[in-house]
Amino acid sequence: MMRYSELIVYNDTYSLPLVSSFKLTWEDYLLHVEKTKSVKINSAKIIIYALFGEVGSIMSAYKKYKRDTNSYKNYKDDINEELGDILWYLIAASHFLSINLESLKLFYIFDSNASENLKYKSNRYNNLYLDNMATNIGNCMSRSNNSNIVSELTAFIDNYILFIKSIGFNFSRVLYSNYVKSSGEFLKYDYFEFENFGEESKHEDENFPKKMKIRIVRKSDDKVYLKYGDVFIGSPLTDNIEKPDAYAFHDVLHFANVAILHWSPTMRGLLKRKRKSDKKMDEAQDSGRAIVVDEGVNALIFSYAKEYEYFENMKKVPSELLKLIKLYVKGYEVERCPLSLWNHSILEGYKIFRQVKKHKQGTLIIDTVKRTISFKPDSKNDPA
């Protein structure tokens, strides 16, 4: 399997992945969709609802573009992503609904061999084709016979192709960027093959320890303390909110990111592991703003976690959360991390968080080589 990082090549003027030396055939993409299907598609309604949502997202992006004009910097990226998601759903449904994909295949082959044009073009037809796509999906909602649904989806595909042509988007880029996105979000990579997303320093005392034990102590003042060896690190924490929610234990989640992502500017600071020998790295990746981003991402995830019972019994966190995380960490070393690894870190972190929340005190056991984190609760006789 190709490494995730080898899929991603950026240029300075367009933030979507470029098709460079990696050539993706239509048949490669069909196989990829099969690999990344997280649920079995056995109902036309699932696909119809999904396509309805994606078309709605394009319309929402278009509305924001018309309202905000040049202030909406991510317009092309957002439209490109929704178009890629539509393509993924159409192919995922093709076996169940026997949809003919030949027009999409020919469009991809033609587009792949055409000269690349990244300039967004707008003309009077793009609204028409987008409206037609919405009409096709709306008609599907009222159809109970699969053959009638297939007929509407075939017309939907025609309008989808015309819409892409009318706005001047490169279809091979739509397909390839969806390949990268779905690879990062759904494929289970061998995490031990990943490069170290947190850059290693030449000085060992600037790197995270390969193994750590962190004591979590809740004292009589109801504050939570962290202890590394014989030294207390950081400030004692409370929930800092009117209704208690155990946020005082949120450093557990930073340590999960240290173990699995090899990233946490907050913990680099507390453990005195900033890469000060590299001035640029220290300033851009380990200091003030990076720490704010780290804490901000943690607070964002925590807000979602509270709505989902701290992700208990979940195999995947909401996709919109992963998308927000990707936006939050843009420009920092951890942006190279695939979303599936973020998902793994979040779920592992909250598994430990729930244990710490229950037992209040104990020891975190962190192994950055094996990318694992575990928790051993205190026995009654353990000292604070």
Return d(Cα 165, Cα 271) in angstroms, integer.
Answer: 53
Element (H, E) at 109: helix 102-113
Position 227 in a domain: yes
Q: What is the percent of the chain with per-residue pLDDT over 90, rounded to a whole number?
A: 57
pLDDT of residue 114: 57
Residue 13: is its pLDDT beyond 50?
A: no
36-45, 98-107, 171-180: segment of lowest average pLDDT: 36-45
Assess contact for 322 and 337: CB atoms under 8 A: no
pLDDT of residue 361: 95
pLDDT of residue 195: 54
Which residues are CB-neighbours of 220 under 8 A, at least 6 positions away? none
Three-state DSSP class for residue 108 = helix
219 and 129 in a single domain? The answer is no
Residue 52: is its pLDDT beyond 60?
A: yes
Q: What is the mean pLDDT of residues 224-232?
A: 94
Identify which has the larger pLDDT, 151 or 21.
151
pLDDT of residue 337: 85
pLDDT of residue 194: 52
Position 193 in a domain: no
Assess contact for 17 and 177: CB atoms under 8 A: yes
Confidence of residue 17 (pLDDT cuts 50, 70, 90): very low
Which residues are CB-neighbours of 142 under 8 A, at least 6 positions away? none
Return d(Cα 382, Cα 113) in angstroms, integer.
Answer: 68
Q: What is the mean pLDDT of residues 25-30?
A: 92
For 93-146, the pLDDT digits (tens) are: 888 888 999 999 999 988 776 554 444 454 444 678 999 999 999 999 888 788
65 and 106 in a single domain? The answer is yes
Q: What is the percent of the chain with per-residue pLDDT over 70, rounded to a whole number?
A: 85
122, 155, 187 — which closes off a domain? 187
Position 335 in a domain: yes
pLDDT of residue 94: 87
Position 383 in a domain: no
Which residues are CB-neighbours of 191 under 8 A, at least 6 positions away? 260, 341, 344, 371
Neighbouring-strand partners of residue 367? 211, 372
168 and 288 in a single domain? The answer is no
Position 287 in a domain: yes
182 and 242 in a single domain? The answer is no
What's the total number of domains in the chain? Answer: 2
Which residues span the domain enclosing 329? 199-377
Return d(Cα 104, Cα 193) in angstroms, integer.
Answer: 34
Please count the CA atoms within 13 angstroms of the CA of 247 that sit on its side-chain side.
18
Position 192 in a domain: no
Residue with tokens 């819409």: 163
Greatest CA separation for the chain: 76
34 and 170 in a single domain? The answer is yes
Q: What is the mean pLDDT of residues 20-36?
A: 82
210 and 126 in a single domain? The answer is no
For 288-339, the pLDDT digits (tens) are: 999 999 999 999 999 999 999 999 999 999 989 998 999 899 999 998 888 8
153 and 41 in a single domain? The answer is yes
132-146, 174-188, 203-217, 252-266: segment of lowest average pLDDT: 174-188
Return d(Cα 202, Cα 281) in angstroms, integer.
Answer: 12
36-50, 55-69, 211-225, 310-324: segment of lowest average pLDDT: 36-50
Q: Output the six-digit token pair for 378.
A: 């205190």
Assess contact for 306 and 251: CB atoms under 8 A: no
For 355-379, the pLDDT digits (tens) are: 999 999 999 999 998 999 999 999 8
Residue 197: is its pLDDT beyond 70?
A: no
Q: What is the mean pLDDT of the chain?
A: 85
Residues in the chain: 384
Position 194 in a domain: no
